[in-house]
Amino acid sequence: MKAEETIRRMDESGRSGQAFLFAIDFEMNEGIFISEPMSQKEILFDVRGQGNAPTHIDTKESKTPVTFIPHPESLETYRHRFDRIRTALMRGDSFLANLTIATPIEMNITLEEVFSRSRASYKLLIPGRLVCFSPERFVKIEKGQISTNPMKGTIDASLPDAAGRLLSDYKETAEHRTIVDLLRNDLNRVSHHVRVSRFRYLDELHTNKGRLLQMSSEITGTLPAEKEKRFGSIIQELLPAGSISGAPKEATIEAIREAEGQQRGFYTGVFGYFDGSSFDSAVMIRYIEQLPDGQYLFRSGGGITINSRCDDEYRETQQKVYLPF
C-alpha cells in the first residue's frame, strides 16, 4: 500500500473511532494499514502491552541457546560515510545528522522467536520481512494532548558512574538539546502550548550484550479540536522523525542519502496502534530485516555533530546491534 493511502485511512478510522495498526516507511513511499488488528495474526504487534501477540513463550524455544554473530562493516568503510556527513556539517548544510548502517548477522533463531522473546516497549513482526523491538516512542495522542519522547544518548550501563558520565557528556548533551529543539518545533506545527515536560531522563535497556542507558526527553502539546482524530495528517506533518534524521531536516536527509547509499525502507519509519480511544506510536529502531535470500541485516545508527569522533560513532553503531533478551 502507498503511504498516502495509509495516511488517508488513518484519518478516516480516527474520525469513526475504529481501531487500527499502521506503519509508514522512512521515505514515505510504503505504508501498512490493518483495521481491527486484534482479529488477525498475520502481522504481530505489541504497543506498551496492547497487541495481538501470544502471551506465552514456548518453553523449548525460550531455553534455546542463541547464536548471534554480527559481521560489521570495516571502520574504513564507515569512515567514508562519516566523512561525507562531516563535509555537510562543515558546509553548514546540517548541524546534526543521523547516520545509519546495515550489519549482516548470523543467528540460529527466526524473526518470530526474536519477537516473542524480546523485551521492548514497542514490537512489530512482519513474517519473512522484519522484526522491530523499539524502545522509542514517536508520538502519543490522547484526550487532545500530543506527546513525543525523542531518545538521544547511549552509554554502557556497566561503566563506573555511567549515568553521570552520560548526563555530563558535552557531545551527547548538545546532540540531545538539538533534537529536543527540533521536536519542539515539529510539535508546534500541529499543536499549541508546546512545552518540555521532562528533560534528559534515563532508561535502562537489557540486551544479550549487557545493559545500556539511554537518554530521552518528553515534549507535550495541545491539539486543536479539529485535528484531534486526524492521526494520519498529524503523522504526515511530523515525518520523518527528527531523532533519526537530523536538523535541518530537508538538507540533512540529502546528506544522509548520499552517505548511506541506499534506502532505509521501514527502518527508522514509524508504526503504531489506535485502540479506538488513544493513539500510540514508535520510531522503528532496533530493527532486523530479512532479505529474499534469507540473510539477516541488523540496522543501527547514531547522531553525528561537528564534535563527533569517527571511532566513537562507529563503536556506538555496533553497541546497538543486540537482542533485547
3-state secondary structure 125-185: EECCCEEEEECCEEEEEECCEEEECCEEEEEECCCCCHHHHHHHCHHHHHHHHHHHHHHHH
For residue 53, the model assigns a pLDDT of 87
pLDDT top residue among 154 and 147 = 147
pLDDT in tens, 21-42: 999 999 999 999 999 999 999 9
pLDDT greater than 60 at residue 50: yes
For residue 208, the model assigns a pLDDT of 83
For residue 221, the model assigns a pLDDT of 98
C-alpha cell at 267: 527502518
For residue 54, the model assigns a pLDDT of 81
For residue 57, the model assigns a pLDDT of 55
Confidence of residue 56 (pLDDT cuts 50, 70, 90): low
For residue 209, the model assigns a pLDDT of 82
How many residues does the structure list for the chain?
Answer: 325
Report the phi/psi class of residue 276: left, alpha or beta, with left for phi > 0 and alpha for psi in -120 to 50. Answer: left
For residue 59, the model assigns a pLDDT of 44
pLDDT in tens, 136-147: 999 999 999 999
pLDDT in tens, 58-94: 545 566 789 999 999 999 999 999 999 999 999 999 9
Give backbone dihedrals phi and psi of 46, rounded to 5 degrees, phi first: -150, 115
Give backbone dihedrals phi and psi of 87, rounded to 5 degrees, phi first: -60, -45
CA gap 265, 29 in Å, rounded: 8
pLDDT in tens, 177-224: 999 999 999 999 999 999 999 999 999 988 888 899 999 999 999 999
Question: 3-319 has which CATH code?
Answer: 3.60.120.10
For residue 177, the model assigns a pLDDT of 93
pLDDT greater than 80 at residue 274: yes
Question: What is the rounded average pLDDT of the residues 256-278?
Answer: 98
Percent with pLDDT over 90 in the chain: 90
CA gap 260, 98 in Å, rounded: 10
For residue 4, the model assigns a pLDDT of 98
**Average pLDDT, whole number, for the chain?**
95
pLDDT greater than 80 at residue 125: yes
Which has the minimum average pLDDT: 128-142, 202-216, 234-248? 202-216
Q: Domain map of the chain by residue range?
A: 3-319
CA gap 325, 323 in Å, rounded: 6
Q: Which of 71, 49, 206 is nearest to 122 (CA)?
A: 49
